[in-house]
Each structure stands twice: as C-alpha cells, then as structure tokens.
Amino acid sequence: QVQLQESGPGLVKPSQTLSLTCTVSGDSISSGRFYWSWIRQSAGKGLEWIGRIYTSGSTDYNPSLKSRLTISLDRSKNEFSLKMKSVTAADTAVYYCAGEIGKGYEKYWGQGTLVTVSS
Amino acid sequence: DIQLTQSPSFLSASVGDRVTITCRATQDIHSYLAWYQQKPGKAPKLLIYAASTLQSGVPSRFSGSGSGTEFTLTISSLQPEDFATYHCQQLDSFPPTFGGGTKLEI
C-alpha cells in the first residue's frame, strides 16, 4: 500500500516561497508505476490541480501557476517537493500530494497540510 | 480550461435511497472522468475512473456512467458512511480540472 505524507511550514509570509515535501512509502518514486502530483483545496476555489512530476524528472505545471512553481524529485529520500514563490493570501489552502495512475487519476493521496499565507 | 459543473451542489437523502449526481463538462472529454469521495478533514478518495471503472475496494453500490459532456455518479442504496462530498475531475484536457463538489447530507 502506497502512503504519502506532506510536510513543511504551516505559515508563510506574503511574497515569500512556499516549500512542501511529500515522503512516499510503499513504492519507489523511481518505479514508474505512478506520476507524482500536487493538488490544493481552498474554500474559495475548491480543488485545484497544481502540477506533476514524472519518474524521468520532467514536469507538467498548471499554466495559471507555472511561472511560480518548481516540482522536483529526491530519489535518495524517496520524496518529491513543491516550491511556489511570491505567495499571496490567495495561496492559502490545504495542499495535498498524490500518486497518479493512467491518464492522471489521483489514486493515492497524502493527508493534506494547511498552509496559511499571512504576515 | 474545461469547466465542470456538478449538480446538485447539495443533496439531502436517507439511508437506503438511490441518488444520482451529475457532472457536466464545457466540452467533450470523452471518458476521461474520475469521481472522488471526500469526508470532512480527509483527503479525497478515488471511487471511479475512466467514467465507469470502479476503483479496487470500492463497494459495488457506486457506479459511474456517461461520456462526452455529461456524466453521472449513482449510489444505489445509501449507507451511513456514504454521506460525504463528491467531486468529479476531467483528465482529457490540460490542465486537469475539478467540479465544484456535491455535498451529500442526511
């Protein structure tokens, strides 16, 4: 059973960089069985797909966020990470990491972590 | 981006009821649609993918149908644990997008 766990600061100041890590257990992030993605959920906008990273290290980003995003892999730690720069209050949300199958269906999810952007 | 509209937004039902939730897309997404169940304070859980394929371990009272622009999630006989919020997601066009959710209440 694949399990994912998000970690990172719960409070980020406006204009700073949000950094989250997702630790994967039960599978190697290099196995190729899954793509690894980030999704967020805010009260105002519902669920929003942020981006994904493939085993190869290539990435897909939501065009609405692309200029501010970096998703990367750390194979030695079996982790992948999200960095979002220049955050504003609109980036306040619960952030989930997920493992995707097939066309991109989100099969496995982390428990989610609340990130609040506030000074 | 493709917009997904779920209806109804809120649904009151009773244990044993048959319920149907609809998800409509602004353009043809073929069968690249998923349904998720989310309970308060928890992550969404994949129920159905490719419009009608039941994810392993999901009870058979859940079913999905549709193609093109109109899709439905049906729960044949509601159980107490089914009261939750349901989301649809399209994977045909980039970026993937989600519907606004349907809250199913007792």
What's the pLDDT at A34? 94
Contacts of B40 (CB under 8 A, 6+ apart): none
Distance CA A74, CA A30 (A): 10
Distance CA A116, CA A87 (A): 10
Whether A104 and B97 lie within 8 Å, measured CB to CB: no
Of A47, A60, A107, the CB nearest to B87: A47
- A104 at B interface, C-beta within 8 A: yes
| Percent of chain B scoring above 90 in pLDDT | 99
Name the pLDDT band for A84 (thresholds 50, 70, 90): very high
Distance CA A115, CA B6 (A): 27
What's the pLDDT at A45? 75
How many residue contacts between A and B have a Cβ separation below 8 Å? Answer: 55
Q: Which residues of A touch B92 (CB under 8 A)?
A: 103
Which of B38, B39, B46, B85 has the most A C-beta neighbours within 10 Å, making it the best mutation to test the interface with A? B46
Please compute the mean of the pLDDT values over residues A111-119 and round it to a whole number.
98
Q: Which residues of A touch B50 (CB under 8 A)?
A: 102-103, 105
* pLDDT tens digits, one per residue of B25-67: 999 999 999 999 999 999 999 999 999 999 999 999 999 999 9
Which of B54, B97, B102, B103 has the most A C-beta neighbours within 10 Å, making it the best mutation to test the interface with A? B97
Please compute the mean of the pLDDT values over residues A5-13 and round it to a whole number.
98
Three-state DSSP at A81 gives strand
Whether B34 and A46 lie within 8 Å, measured CB to CB: no
Residue pair B67/B78 in contact (Cβ under 8 Å)? The answer is: no
Distance CA B38, CA B96 (A): 18
Q: Which residues of A touch B100 (CB under 8 A)?
A: 46
What's the pLDDT at B61? 98
Identity of the residue numbered B13:
A
Give the residue among B2, B4, B14 at the shortest CA–CA distance from B70: B4
Whether B46 and A47 lie within 8 Å, measured CB to CB: no
* pLDDT tens digits, one per residue of B59-99: 999 999 999 999 999 999 999 999 999 999 999 999 999 99
Whether A103 and B101 lie within 8 Å, measured CB to CB: no
